[in-house]
Structures are given as C-alpha cells and as structure tokens.
Amino acid sequence: MSIVNLNFLKYKPGQCLAKCDLYAKMCDTDDAISELEDMPKEAILEKIAEEFSDWHQVDEYEYRKVASEDNQSDFKDGDEVADAGRECGDGCTDAGFFIGMIDNMMCFECNDMEQSDIDRIIAVMAGLEIAPFDMQMDDMVDLEF
C-alpha cells in the first residue's frame, strides 16, 4: 500500500516563516500558529464532497473509491460491485483518503490513490487559495530543540 500525505496551510497576509521555524512552532504548541490563517473547514469539506461525489463518503473525513463494473481489478478479493454505484458495501477499492485538520493546517492521508485523484485534492485546495506545504525539510539538521 502506498501512502501519500498532502499537507496544506495558508499564511496570513504579510506573514511567512522558514520551514524550520514553522516546524518548530508546530512542535512547540497545541495552539493555532499566529502567522497562519484558520482553515475554512466547512468550505473545504463541502468542496471535497462535491469533487469526490463519485466516491463513497464513509463519514465527513473519510472517502473510499468505488470499484467500477468495467474494471474488476479495482476490487479487493471477493468484493462485488454495489448496486447503487457510490454505495460501497463491499464494492469499494482499497484506494481512499482521510482528512485530518487542526485550526490552521490540514492533512490528507491518501492510500493507494492514483496521481490523477491526488491532483483533484490539490486542485480543490488551490481553488480555495490554500497552498500545499512540503513537510520534507533539508534544513532539519539545523534545528535545535
């Protein structure tokens, strides 16, 4: 199973932090980071629900791709296509994502998803002017805790 984590944040106007400084603040506090805007949670969840309306929405924060009748290889072993199309039952693939959020950051944990579906998440967030944040940091060795 391949897992891709997509992280998103939005700086307040005129604010910016070096990655290592932002990461240190993320580690040091349970509170919102003052340089970041709060996530528009309801708008994001609504747009994701619209964009992934062809997927099974397990709950507000979890989606699973529905297996297609055209492509039996989408099925987990022994699964059958559900009659209602987007109703999963046993007709879902392993592909899916979970949404995690705090006040001013959001993470999508994408499991076994195709790049085109990952790009759909990125496009939704870009439409809301929320940028991806790469958690990989080359300068981590310079951090002092």
Residue 145 lies in a domain: no
Model pTM above 0.85: no
- Whole-number pLDDT of residue 1: 64
Residue 19 lies in a domain: yes
Residue 143 lies in a domain: no
The CATH number for 132's domain is: 3.30.310
Going from the C-alpha of 114 to that of each of 96, 106, 111, 130, the distances in angstroms are: 10, 20, 9, 22
Helices and strands counted in the chain (H then E): 3, 6
Classify 53 as helix, strand or coil: coil
Could you identify the residue written with the tokens 């997509």? 6
Helices (H), 52-131: 115-127
Residue 142 lies in a domain: no
Classify 117 as helix, strand or coil: helix
Total structural domains in the chain? 1
Query: Alpha-carbon torsion 53, 58, 59, 63, what sign?
Result: negative
Residue 17 lies in a domain: yes
Query: For 17-57, how does the pLDDT look when each residue is reduced to its tens digit (9 = 90+)?
Result: 888 788 788 777 666 788 899 899 999 999 999 999 999 99
Q: What single-letter DSSP state applies at residue 140? A: G
Residue 80 lies in a domain: yes
Query: For 57-102, how does the pLDDT look when each residue is reduced to its tens digit (9 = 90+)?
Result: 999 999 999 887 654 444 344 444 333 344 565 567 789 999 998 7
Domain that holds residue 39: 3-136
Residue 42 lies in a domain: yes
Residue 51 lies in a domain: yes
- Whole-number pLDDT of residue 84: 34
Mean pLDDT of 100-118: 91
Identify the top-confidence range among 9-23, 88-102, 119-133: 119-133
